[in-house]
Amino acid sequence: MNIYHGIEDFKPLSYAVVTSGTFDGVHLGHQKILGRVKEIAEKNNGETVLITFWPHPRLVLYPDKDDLRLLNTFEEKADLLREQGINHLLRIPFTKEFSNLSSEEFIQKILVETIGTKKLVIGYDHRFGKNREGSFEHLKENSKTYGFEVEEIPKQEIDHVGVSSTKIRNALIEGNVKAGNELIGNEFSIRGRVVTGEKIVRMLGYPTANIDIDSHYKLIHKDGAYAVHINIGNELFKGMLNIGYRPTVGGNAKTIEVHIFDFDRDIYGESITVSFHKKIRSEVKFADVDELKQQLKKDMAQAHKILL
């Protein structure tokens, strides 16, 4: 998959099949749209193009609000779209200036001149341009003028899978791993760099990799212990992860720590991806360190059983 970080890097294609949106989570509803885009491209010997915007428009238009939590960073989203078989990912920097681009300017400058769109596929109720003025009806009425066809994925085709990014976020925030994963169609994951921690759990016999998520808007599961899969480079491992403040040992900062089973390697500074399989328990303050140690032993046994 080719990734472009601005329209100036993109050269028009001979037969471009295009869709547009934030595609946060690349969930089952998004996959319906992507499937149709790929189907059209294959029939016409064309290439698929996904236009997305970064930062997320809400982060730019409402900077004082700090309540947005995204399922993916841009890098995570790019990896998911690559897995879906998209040929070209065009990332357009979203700025206040860009938000004032009219729907007509968006169509002419980006869809026609930059990409060479032959077919545009959008989800129902998709809006674009300044104040969300552009609509499917407008595109349909003027498709001959613009030189490309437009197709809308009907509401019932996306709604029948019962999925939205908001539903997924709500499930994950509550620690409902099963529901979140089912809606996504895959295991929800986080990516971060391994940093030095206080090594408290290591002293209890469970060395952990402390993960630093370099994104304040990335959604994180509810505090607790989880059975997880860990990707390091091209290797896959199993483990248990804890999110929380470690109240038993007097922790005062939230941490994300993963104990990787059957692993003894220095990975400080490396980037790893952790995928959530199932929640084991909520975070608890134990009576003392011995009780915590006993619980960690139970957590590890349960995680092993879950991940068989």
What pLDDT does 199 receive? Answer: 63
Shared domain check, 119 and 247: no
**Among 165, 196, 222, which residue terminates a domain?**
165
Asked, for residue 172, whether it belongs to a domain, the answer is no
Shared domain check, 91 and 211: no
Shared domain check, 122 and 68: yes
Asked, for residue 181, whether it belongs to a domain, the answer is no
pTM for this model (two decimals): 0.86
Shared domain check, 296 and 204: yes
What pLDDT does 198 receive? Answer: 67
Residue numbers of the chain with a pLDDT score lower than 50? none
The CATH number that applies at residue 271 is: 2.40.30.30
Asked, for residue 173, whether it belongs to a domain, the answer is no
Which residue is it, tokens 């994925």?
A: 153
Token couple for 60:
């730019």
Shared domain check, 158 and 193: no
Asked, for residue 136, whether it belongs to a domain, the answer is yes
Shared domain check, 6 and 128: yes
- Sign (positive or negative) of CA dihedral 174, 175, 179, 184: positive
Shared domain check, 160 and 20: yes
Asked, for residue 182, whether it belongs to a domain, the answer is no
Query: Kind of pairing, strands 189-195 and 255-260?
Result: unpaired
DSSP the chain: -EEESSGGG----SSEEEEES--TT--HHHHHHHHHHHHHHHHTT-EEEEEEEES-HHHHH-TT-----BS--HHHHHHHHHHTT-SEEEEEEP-HHHHT--HHHIIIIIIIIII-EEEEEEETT--BSGGG-B-HHHHHHTHHHHTSEEEEE-HHHHHTTT--HHHHHHHHHTT-HHHHHHHHTS--EEEEEEE----HHHHTT---EEEE---TTB--PPSEEEEEEEEETTEEEEEEEEEE--GGGT--S-EEEEEETT-----TT-EEEEEEEEEEEE----SSHHHHHHHHHHHHHHHHHHT-
Shared domain check, 256 and 212: yes
The range of the structural domain enclosing residue 289 comes to 187-306
Asked, for residue 103, whether it belongs to a domain, the answer is yes
Asked, for residue 179, whether it belongs to a domain, the answer is no
What pLDDT does 200 receive? Answer: 63
**Among 132, 165, 198, which residue terminates a domain?**
165
Shared domain check, 83 and 229: no
Shared domain check, 84 and 26: yes
Q: How many domains does the chain have?
A: 2
> Is residue 192 within 8 Å of 214, Cβ to Cβ?
yes
> Is residue 278 within 8 Å of 226, Cβ to Cβ?
yes
> Is residue 238 within 8 Å of 303, Cβ to Cβ?
yes
What pLDDT does 161 receive? Answer: 57
Sheet containing strand 117-123, strands side by side: 2-4, 88-93, 47-54, 16-20, 117-123, 149-153
Asked, for residue 178, whether it belongs to a domain, the answer is no
As beta bridge partners, residue 128 has 134
Backbone angles phi, psi at 147, to 5 degrees: 85, 15
What pLDDT does 88 receive? Answer: 98
The CATH number that applies at residue 47 is: 3.40.50.620
